[in-house]
Structure 1
């Protein structure tokens, strides 16, 4: 989506604030012993309180209000009866629709106690996302986002999941610009322009490099049993740089 009016921007900021608030509240509620369905119920109630609808349910018939992925599961995890345990690494992805506009955000949460390398991975996962965000400005090469993220990952000895990309968002959950790489891609020739709306969501890992399908048709797992995190913001390209939409 490319924003054409102040009204569109305000609508995107409203739904961005809602998904950010729901993600924050789910992260605060996360504790050992609760099921992923119970956690999802908190997300569903939060969306409903704001009049918003779950985007994955609306767009794809996903069996949950939010995506909750645990440990080797890294994306699109289906909420269910699995109980969260101390030491788990839990990714929560919240996306929703309000008045025809979509917002998308996500984050990984380490349930204490966790190994020091997992704490560091979570910190660096956020930093990787912000490295990509720092490349956003009108006229910039879209490829610079992935180049900055990969440079950061390489310096820290990390790998990146290379078949899960960022994407356009706004009037739909996934739209143009499609498949925005969060790794260096020499074939990428597109440029950013003012008003573009999209996500930046690198998957930073301690050794995995690809997401693989599972039997449930939704959940994606890492190709290696290596800790992997994802952090995601939706943003708009402005003449002054990136404007983050998903802020609580």
Structure 2
């Protein structure tokens, strides 16, 4: 999507604020003994309260209101009977539609107690998002986003999950530009344009460079023992710093 009117900006900010608030509520509510289904119901209830619709359910028929992934699961985890336990690395991804506009956000937390490795993983992934956003300006190459993420991952001793990445969003959950890699791809000649609406979502991991689909047909997981983190914002590209619509 490319911004055309002030109404477009307002619509994105409206749904962006909603998914951001829901993400924060879910991360704050996560506790040992809950199932991921219990946590998803919090998101489902809040979406209904705001009149928003779950984007993965609306777009793909996903069997949950939100995506909840734990430890070896990097993305698209189905809410279910899995019990959240102390020490888990928990990722929540919330995307939704309201009034024809879509926004997408995500975040990771460690269910206490944490470890130095888990804390560093989350910190590094947040820094990767911040650094990538510095390269998200009109006229700059799209591959600068992945270069910043890859550089940050190496600095902190982590890997980038290469088959997960950022993407266009706005009038649909996934739009052009499709798959913005989280690593530097010199063959990618695309340029960021003013008004373009995209997500940036670095996926950093302790072991895996790729993830594979589990038998459930949705969940994407790394190697046994792998841990990963993801943080995500939806933003509008400008000639200066991007306008983040999912900042709570």
TM-score (norm 1): 0.98
Structure-2 separation of matches of 1:183 and 1:240: 23
Q: Secondary structure in 2 aligned to 1:167?
A: strand
Give, in angstroms, the shift of residue 11 of structure 1: 0.1
Q: Residues 206-245 of structure 1: matches in 2 within 5 Å?
A: 206-245=206-245
Describe the superposition over 1:77-112 as per-residue Cα deviations: whole angstroms up to 9, x where unpaired. Answer: 000111100000111000000011001000111000
Q: Residues 191-210 of structure 1: matches in 2 within 5 Å?
A: 191-210=191-210
- Find runs of 4+ consecutive structure 1 residues off by over 3 angstroms: none
Aligned length: 248
Q: Provide the residue aligned with 2:88 in structure 1.
A: 88
Structure-1 separation of matches of 2:90 and 2:20: 17
Structure-1 separation of matches of 2:219 and 2:226: 16
Give, in angstroms, the shift of residue 225 of structure 1: 2.2
Q: Provide the residue aligned with 1:108 in structure 2.
A: 108
Structure-1 separation of matches of 2:114 and 2:157: 20
Contact 1:137 1:237 in 2 (8 A): yes
Q: Secondary structure in 2 aligned to 1:13?
A: helix
Q: Provide the residue aligned with 2:137 in structure 1.
A: 137
Q: Provide the residue aligned with 2:247 in structure 1.
A: 247
Structure-1 separation of matches of 2:226 and 2:134: 27
Q: Provide the residue aligned with 1:30 in structure 2.
A: 30
Q: Secondary structure in 2 aligned to 1:238?
A: coil
Q: Secondary structure in 1 aligned to 2:237?
A: strand
Give, in angstroms, the shift of residue 224 of structure 1: 4.7
Question: Where does the alignment leave 5 or more consecutive residues of structure 1 unmatched?
Answer: none
Structure-1 separation of matches of 2:139 and 2:16: 24
2:54 paired with 1:54: yes
Structure-2 separation of matches of 1:73 and 1:156: 21
Q: Secondary structure in 2 aligned to 1:147?
A: helix
Q: Secondary structure in 2 aligned to 1:171?
A: coil
Structure-1 separation of matches of 2:69 and 2:125: 16
Structure-2 separation of matches of 1:137 and 1:189: 15
Question: Where does the alignment leave 5 or more consecutive residues of structure 2 unmatched?
Answer: none
Contact 2:207 2:223 in 1 (8 A): no
Q: Provide the residue aligned with 1:14 in structure 2.
A: 14
Structure-2 separation of matches of 1:43 and 1:96: 11
CA RMSD across the alignment: 0.8
Give, in angstroms, the shift of residue 223 of structure 1: 3.1
Structure-1 separation of matches of 2:205 and 2:102: 28
Q: Secondary structure in 1 aligned to 2:3?
A: coil
Contact 1:166 1:182 in 2 (8 A): yes
Q: Provide the residue aligned with 2:39 in structure 1.
A: 39
Give, in angstroms, the shift of residue 117 of structure 1: 0.9
Q: Secondary structure in 2 aligned to 1:179?
A: strand
